[in-house]
Amino acid sequence: MLTPFQKLLYNGFGSRKVLVAASGPCLRTFDYSSGHIISRWSYLDLDAPAGNKSSDLHDEDDAPPRKKHKIDSGNASDSVSTEILIENGSGRQKPRRNGFAAPCITHLTATADGRHVVIISGEDKAIRVLEMTEEGGLHQFSKRVLPKRPSALTLTPEDQILCADKFGDVYSMPLLGQTIEKASNVDMQDQEPPIDELFKPAATSKTVHTKHNLRILELQQKQKKTKKASTTELQFEHNLILGHVSLLTDIASVRLQTPEGRSRTYILTSDRDEHIRVSRSVPQAHIIENFCLGHEQFVNKIHVPSWQPGTLISGGGDDYLLVWDWRTGTIRDKLDLKSLLAQSQTNTGETTTFPISVSGIWSVETMSGSGSIIIACEKMNGLFTFALSSEGQIIIGQSIFKQLSHNVLDVAIVQHEQRIVVSLDIMHRPGSGEITAAHDHSSFVVVLHLQSDGTWEEMKELIAVNTHAQQTKEVLTESLDPTVWSGVFYNAEHLRKRGPLADAEEEL
C-alpha cells in the first residue's frame, strides 16, 4: 500500500491528461482518464546519498538531467504498473531527522502548458523543475538550492518562478534557468557588503556600545583571522524582489486589465503576521501598492479566482475567511467557518475542539462566467464550497459543506471538466489527527463534479489510482510511521503563535 498523497496536481500536457501525486519524497504520475500509473519519480534516485547533511548552498547536483526510472509504459492503458524499484542509493541513505530518507515535497505546481512541473522540498531547500515526457513521465531538468527554506511557490503569467522563504524574502528566477557562474545583478538584489568590509571592525573605540556589543566586536576581530570568507552568493540567476519580516506563507501572481485596457501584473504575498501585501510585479516589485489588513491570526492561503481577478480570498488561523477587493484593501465579505463547521458536525454527532486552520483555497470556473470556491481546513474531512457574486459577496447554495470520508490533504483542479480530485488522508481518523488503521478499501483520491446547482457530486472514477495505491507491492523507502506523516500532512496549525509569550519574544 502507498502512503497518502500530500500534494496532488492535475496536469494537461498536449493531449496527455496526467495526475501528479506526491507522497513523501516521491512523485507518481497517473493517467487521468484510466487512472493507471504511468511513472514514479524520486530525487532519491538522482541525488547523492542524502545522509550527509546538505546545509551547503552549493549542493552540486546540476549535472544534466538524467533519465532515470523511465518506466513509462508507453501506452498507459496497457494497465499493469511497470514500476521499477530504486536500485541505487537506498542502502546508503541514513534516515533524516524527520524519519524520511529524503525531504518531502511541500509544493507542487505546473506551467500553463503543462510541459514543466515545479516542486519544492522543504528540508533540502531545493526547487526542482521537472520536464514532462510525451508519455506523462517526469525527469529532472534542474535543481536550485536556496539559502533559506522555501515556504511558498507560484509561477507568474510569464512562467517566472516566484518563491518565498521562511524569513519572508521573495525571489524570482527563470523557469528554465540553469546554474550559471555568477548570479546576475539586479536592482533589488540584496548584497551583503563585500567580505572584507564585513570583517572590518564595525565600530571605533569611540563608538558607544554595550558590553555585549563589545564582546561581539572582539569575536568578530578574532573571526577575521580564522574564518575563510564563505561566499553567500547563489550560483544561479535569481533576484530578491521583496521581503516581509515574517514567515511568508503564500504568494500569488495576478494579471489585471486596467479600465484603459492596459495589463498590469501584481504580486500578492501573505505572512504569518496577519498581513497580505500587494506589490507591483517584477521589475517593480519594490513598489508596494497596498495592504489588505483585517486578519487577526496568521494568513496561510490566498487565492484569486480566475474569473474575478480583482477579488481575493484569504484564510489561515482565524475562524473566518475574508473576501477582499485587494486593489483597495477593502473587505467585501467574511465567512465564519467555525460556526459552519459546528453546524455540519451537529449532523454527524462530532464536535471540533481544535482551532481552525485554513489549509487550501481553490476555485473552479463555470461557463457562466462565475464559479465555485473550494476551502479545505486542516484535519477536516470535507470541503466548504460556495459561489461569489460579482461584488465579491459569498453566495451559499444548497449546502456549503461537502463531507468526505477522510481529512482533505490537497485538491487538484480539472478545470475543463469542472471536476476536482481530492486527496484524502487515510492514515488518520477523519476530523482529527489521530492515527487510524487504514483499510484496504479506503480511497486515496475521490473525484467530485460540480453540478449546475453549485453542489459537488462524488463520481466513481480514478478507481485504478486507488486500486494501485492500495495493492502495490512496491517496497517503500518512506517511513511508514503515521506520526511522522502527520508532520508532512498538517503544518498550518504550527504557524499559530501561542500566548502572549510569542509577542514577548520580540522584546529583544
Partner 1 sequence: MDWSTYYPKFVDSTTTGTPRQLVKDVTVADIGCGFGGLLMALSPLMPEELIIGMEIRLRVAEFVQQKISALRVQHKDDGLYQNIACLRANTMKFLPNFFKKSQLSKIFLCFPDPHFKARKHKARIVSTTLNSEYAFVVKPGGIIYTITDVEDLHVWMVQHFEKHPTFERLSKEEEDSDPSVKVMAIETEEGKKVERNEGQKFIACFKRLEDEPWIE
Binding site for partner 1 (CB under 8 A): 167-169, 187-188, 190-193, 197-198, 200, 202-204, 206-209, 213, 216-217, 220, 240, 242-246, 258, 262-264, 273, 275, 277, 279-280, 283-284, 286-288, 290-291, 293, 506-508
Q: Toward partner 1, which CB reaches closer, 175 or 217?
A: 217
| Grid cell of 3 as nine digits | 502512503
Angle 51-45-466 from CA coordinates, rounded to 5°: 110
Q: Toward partner 1, which CB reaches closer, 266 or 386?
A: 266
Q: Closest Cα to residue 71, out of 135, 130, 114, 8?
A: 135
The Cα 106–Cα 91 span in angstroms is 25
Collect all residues with Cβ–Cβ distance below 8 Å to 310 and sequence separation of at least 6: 256, 325, 326, 327
445 half-sphere exposure, CB direction, 13 A CA radius = 33
Q: Toward partner 1, which CB reaches closer, 140 or 281?
A: 281
CB of 329 to partner 1, least distance (A): 9
CB of 93 to partner 1, least distance (A): 31
Q: Toward partner 1, which CB reaches closer, 220 or 403?
A: 220
DSSP 8-state secondary structure symbol assigned to residue 47: S
120 CB burial (10 A radius; 0-12, 13-18, 19+) = buried
CB of 310 to partner 1, least distance (A): 16
CB of 98 to partner 1, least distance (A): 25
CB of 209 to partner 1, least distance (A): 8
**What sign does the CA torsion over 307, 312, 313, 315 have?**
positive
Q: Are strands 330-336 and 358-365 parallel, antiparallel or unpaired?
A: unpaired
Q: Toward partner 1, which CB reaches closer, 326 or 386?
A: 326
Q: Toward partner 1, which CB reaches closer, 217 or 387?
A: 217
Neighbours of 157 (CB within 10 A): 12
Q: Toward partner 1, which CB reaches closer, 293 or 395?
A: 293
**What sign does the CA torsion over 220, 223, 225, 228 have?**
negative
Q: Toward partner 1, which CB reaches closer, 206 or 460?
A: 206
Buried b (16+ CB within 10 A) or exposed e, 448-487: bbbeeebbbeeeebbebbbbbbbebebeebbbeebebbbe
299 CB burial (10 A radius; 0-12, 13-18, 19+) = buried
CB of 172 to partner 1, least distance (A): 13
Q: Toward partner 1, which CB reaches closer, 287 or 437?
A: 287
Furthest-apart CA atoms within the chain: distance in Å: 80
Contact by Cβ (8 Å): 170, 250: no
CB of 168 to partner 1, least distance (A): 8
